[in-house]
Amino acid sequence: MTSENSATPIDILTLLKTGDMSMTQGRLRWSSNHTFLVEICAGDVRTRAIYKPRRGERPLWDFPDGTLCNREVAAYLVSEAIGWHIVPPTVLRDGFYGAGSVQLFVEHDPEITYFNLGDYFVPQLQRIAAFDAIINNADRKGGHCLLDKHNKIWGIDHGICFHMASKLRTVIWDFAGQPLPDDLKDAVQKFRQQICDQNSELMQQLSPLISSLEVSALMTRTQKLLHQSKFPQPGNGPSYPWPPV
């Protein structure tokens, strides 16, 4: 039997989108929205994944109903387009309870969160902080930073991102007001070129997932980050998610 570790990113996306899905643990009870740990297999290739069906999304006053799974996929697409590979491979597909997002499960130690990470991880955390500013992440909790066995930090739970109004709520304010490192600035500049091209592959992928106004706001936030060349400061409203972990 082989696993996703021996597969290419394209293979993993195909597996997640077309493989046979079976329940392994059922619903994860601590999640505010319906979230299921599943296994997906195709032949002798199999992996665990997180399935979040649209019909299990808790209605929010400030986000359109039934769009959280779309935003999970949009966050993955932006993460890939910018070259930071923060979000695990994520697709939109049908499952036991209808359409929803399906994301590769990251093997990690649940006792390690953002709050346990030392200076060695600063470059990765800076990328996540910049990424959250771009996608307007309204819920970056400490437990949404997963450390895998290769010392790579993955970011998860991006269902409430891409709002048009400023809603950045995160635990990662360590770099607030500091200059954006040159390598991050270069990556953001290349990303900006993609979202400014209406015919780019990224724009074609995002258009069914988030509204045109949200895409425009994504472009505005990207341009603002480049213009200021600094990590954002906390705003006047709530800037930290609750609970923080």
Q: What is the model's pLDDT at position 12?
A: 94
DSSP per residue, the chain: -EEGGGS-HHHHHHHHHHSEEEEEEEE-TT-SS--EEEEEEETTEEEEEEEEEGGGPPP-SSS-TT-HHHHHHHHHHHHHHTT---SPPEEEEEETTEEEEEEEPPP--TT--GGG--GGGHHHHHHHHHHHHHHT-S-B-GGGEEE-TTS-EEE---TT---SS----BS--TTTTSBPPHHHHHHHHHHHHHHT-TTSHHHHHHTTTS-HHHHHHHHHHHHHHHHH-BPPPP-SS--S-SS--
The burial of 244, by beta-carbon neighbours within 10 Å (0-12 exposed, 13-18 middle, 19 or more buried), is given as: middle
pTM: 0.94
pLDDT at 4 over 50: no
Q: How far apart are the first and last CA of the chain?
A: 36
State the average pLDDT over residues 147-163.
97
Highest mean pLDDT among 23-32, 43-52, 182-191: 182-191
pLDDT single digits (tens) 49-90: 999 999 989 999 999 999 999 999 999 999 999 999 999 999
Q: What is the model's pLDDT at position 33?
A: 75
Q: What is the model's pLDDT at position 245?
A: 86
In the chain, what are the domains? 2-228 (1.10.510)
Where do we find the tokens 């360590």? 174
Per the prediction, the chain carries an average pLDDT of 93
Q: pLDDT above 70 covers what percent of the chain?
A: 93
Higher pLDDT, 7 or 144: 144
Q: What CA–CA distance (Å, rounded) separates 17 from 104? A: 11
State the average pLDDT over residues 14-32.
82
Q: What CA–CA distance (Å, rounded) separates 212 from 128? A: 24
State the average pLDDT over residues 108-126.
96
pLDDT at 129 over 70: yes
- What confidence tier does 44 reach under pLDDT thresholds 50, 70, 90? confident
pLDDT single digits (tens) 195-243: 999 999 999 999 999 999 999 999 999 999 999 999 999 988 889 998 8
